[in-house]
Amino acid sequence: MEEEKDRKLSCNVTILDRKFKYTVPAEDESLIRNTIRGVSDKLAELRSRKNFNDNQELLTVALVQVALEKARLENLLGEVSGDIRLLDSQLGEYIDNNVI
């Protein structure tokens, strides 16, 4: 069982006409391929909306957009986490005061 968990696969992917080879845990193969597909789709969408001077400019714009999205999600996660802690505290207080 442990042997299967530690198994690595070689993934060949292409981004902007460049080929990359990754060695990844077998259980992450699908996640990585889907992520690469999402990156490629995002780059194609950006390229269709604006004329970029080169791939470096395109990648820079995509990177900034991804970083902004990540920051927004982290902020939202922090708010949700705070709300959960507050509800947990209120529930604990309710149980302490209302359970005989």
Q: Cβ of 58: how many Cβ atoms within 10 Å?
A: 19
Structure tokens at 68: 């902004």
For residues 33 and 4, give the distance between their C-alpha atoms in angstroms, rounded to a whole number: 20
**For residue range 46-85, what is the model confidence (pLDDT) as tens digits?**
999 999 999 999 999 999 999 999 999 999 999 999 899 9
Q: How close are the terminal C-alpha atoms of the chain, in Å?
A: 48
**Domain boundaries of the chain, sorted by first residue:** 1-49, 53-100
Query: The whole model's pTM is what?
Result: 0.67
Residue pLDDT, tens place only, 25-43: 999 989 999 999 999 999 9
| Domain 1-49, CATH number (from 3.30.160, 3.30.519, 1.20.1050, 3.90.1570) | 3.30.160
> How many residues are there in the chain?
100
Confidence of residue 100 (pLDDT cuts 50, 70, 90): low
pLDDT at 69: 93
Structure tokens at 37: 């597909």
Q: What percent of the residues of the chain are helix, what percent strand, and what percent coil, each to the nearest 5?
A: 70, 15, 10
